[in-house]
Amino acid sequence: MATSPISSEPQASFSSMLTDAHAGQYALVIDARSQREYTEDHVPRAVNLPVVDNEEYAEVGTTHRTDKHRAYLIGVSYALKNISHSIEDLVASYPKDAKMLVYCFRGGKRSKLWFDALSTIGYHVDRLPGGWKAYRAWVRDQLIELPRKFRYNVLCGPTGCGKTRLLSALASVGAQVLDLEDLAQHRGSLLGDLPGIAQPTQKRFESLVVEKLSRFDPSRPIWVESESKKIGAIQVPSALLETMRSAHLFSLTAPMAERVALWREDYGHFERDLDGMMDRLRHLRPLVGGDEFSRWQSLATERRAPELFERLMEAHYDPAYAHSIRKNFPSVAQASKVELRRLDRKSLLERARQLHGEPVTA
């Protein structure tokens, strides 16, 4: 993506700045925007050192509508105070030869204030042309191009069979792993939200995917879990889904007792609140029918969690998964079979070493 520099400041190219940011070549990457903007999305490894915070940003914006001069007076006053505090609290700890990158929304006044301050101190500073807005356009382009540079090994299998745990084990033995559910902070089902943890924004998720893929070696496969179009509220990039669905599949199976034990560990919060879980599952009543739902309700009322978890998998999750996998991965019948007798860490690490060492033809 070619972008002209925003001023006569001597700088590296836009693409090389982002490459260096992904590779950790900058000692400090400063996001000069407000906290709200930073939370929505930001450049990899960036630290939020706002020129103006959320409330100050709103005040300056409101004032700007009626009195532009007054708005600049307020904004610069806040900015100098905030930059001063950030220099004392953080920037001063970096050596004089540290290389830094700064950006704001469009590469304008907020990043210019930081650029001038850091340059005056003597640091080598790059200022991202076009700011976060240009970075966001770059991410969108990368999401189209980058996934197609790789080949994938896709783990499929019914709920509770250990796909996510096997991914973790594969990462531990040196395989390249893209854990989309970890990036999305969601387990991918109606019960998949993580207690007390909000999902990232769609934009933040996409940045995380690009950052992760940028670190991988295209000559080696990426292990990933089969996913549908959405993980909770997050949409999986279409180019990534397309490449995954033409990949080599590994179909996992595990004994029901192991799957129930895994559910009890991963969904322990629901075992402690079966009534809350049933409230969530009410959305499924039209799908499974009143008799089946009443059976679930009885098991919940009697606090028979292991039996309830088993019944949920047998009556709903397994049939739903079988339908979804056939629809989204038509070649599943040709998948390599992987039998997991145990889902404990030691057993999965052993199986991961075997899989990581096995040559796979695409």
Residue numbers annotated as active site: 104
Q: Which two tokens stand for residue 26?
A: 């900058």
Q: Which two tokens stand for residue 170?
A: 């594969």
Distances (CA, A) of 49 to 36, 42, 73, 75, 88: 12, 12, 20, 15, 12
How big is the chain by its Cα radius of gyration, in Å?
Answer: 25
CB 129 within 8 Å of CB 14: yes
- Coil, helix or strand for 126? strand
Q: Which two tokens stand for residue 200?
A: 């990232």
Identity of the residue numbered 296? W
- Coil, helix or strand for 251? strand
Identity of the residue numbered 32? A
Distances (CA, A) of 190 to 226, 268, 316, 354: 16, 15, 12, 33
Cα(270)–Cα(301) distance, integer angstroms: 13
Report CA 309 to chain centroid distance, whole Å: 28
Cα(352)–Cα(362) distance, integer angstroms: 19
The helix or strand, by DSSP H or E, that contains position 105, with its residue range, turns out to be: none
Under 8 Å CB-to-CB from 173, ≥6 apart: which residues? 349, 352, 353, 356
